Every structure is written in structure tokens, then in C-alpha cells.
Amino acid sequence: MIEFHAPLFDGGQVAGYIRLGYLKPAFGLSTSQLASVATFALPIFLLTSVSCFLVRCEVRPLHQVNSQLGRLMEQGGLTGKMVLTPSDELQDFMGRFNRFIDSAQQRIGDLEADRSRLETSSKLVSCKRSRVESVLQSFPDAIGVLDESGAVSLANARTADVLTATTSPPPSTT
């Protein structure tokens, strides 16, 4: 307990005394408690430093992957492989990731080949259509080509002349 006492003055004369006491707060550890707290704290500090070291060892390959991905993106696409020497689990992941990159590159190549074939086919169909149209236009008779639904897909100029002549009203005789 901590105690404080002092006289009280009134007009320069001692009027009385005051005494104040309070319990001292128990902050800190006693020497008997210090040994047990140190016993618990030491393994925690050691485990923390070991955990930090292990996390850094596992994160370092991820930093390498990140920098390699950055270089791959700067080169303009998915070319090359990711090379690392990480732990078994991360090595497994990188193997699967490299297989994914290979399949993506193969799929991109297949799609580019398909696009090239489609462009060639489209140009060939367009050329054949223009040849058929020019042949149809050269016939002196009216010719029309219907598609599967019965709509006119091709017709020569003579067909238009014949259709307009049959739909116009007959001349009036007065």
C-alpha cells in the first residue's frame, strides 16, 4: 500500500491533517513468475523466426515465377517454360502450369491454322460465286437461282426486265 499524508492550512494556521492511501498496482512480473514466462516465450520466439525462414523459402520461388511471367509477357505471349527449383508441391504446380502453357500454345496454333483455312475457303467461295454470277449475267434468257427456303439468291438482269414487264399494267386503249 502506498500512503500520502500532509497538513491542511486555513489562513496560515494548521487546520488539520490529511492522510491518503491506495494499493500499489501490481504491474510487471515477480521473479518467481519470470522463469515460467520465459519458458513459454522462448519457444514462441524460436518458432516465429523458423516460420519466417520457412515462409521465405517457399515464397522465393513464387517471386521467381512472377519475374519469369513478367518476362514472358514482355516478349509478347506464351513462349517458353517456367524453370524453378522449389519444394515438391510447388514443383508439381509448375509442371502442371508448364503443361497448360504448352496446350495453350498448341491450341493457339490450331486456331490460327483453322482461321487461315477459313479465310482461304471464304476467298475460294467468293471467287466461285463471282464466276457463277458472271456466267448468269451473260445468258440472254432470264435465269434465277433459289435457295433452300425458296428465296432468290441469284438472278441476272434479264430476269428483272421480265418481272417488271409482267407486273406493269397493260397499256390502255382509248
Domain layout of the chain by residue ranges: 37-129
Q: Which amino acid is at 88?
A: D
Give percent of the chain with pLDDT exceeding 90.
Answer: 12
Under 8 Å between Cβ of 85 and 71: no
| Interatomic CA distance for residues 57 and 64, integer angstroms | 12
| Residue 24: half-sphere exposure toward Cβ, Cα within 13 Å | 7
Which pLDDT value is given to residue 122?
A: 94
Q: Between these two residues, 174 and 73, which has the higher pLDDT value?
A: 73
Grid coordinates representing 61 are: 520461388
Cβ neighbors of 143 (< 8 A, separation 6 or more) are 136, 155, 156, 158, 159
Predicted confidence at residue 78, as pLDDT, reads 55
**DSSP bridge pairs for 107:** none
What pTM value is reported for the model? 0.42
pLDDT 10s digits, 86-96: 566 677 777 78
CA distance 43 to 33: 17
Lowest mean pLDDT among 37-51, 69-83, 111-125: 69-83
Residue 11: left (phi > 0), alpha (psi -120 to 50), or beta? left
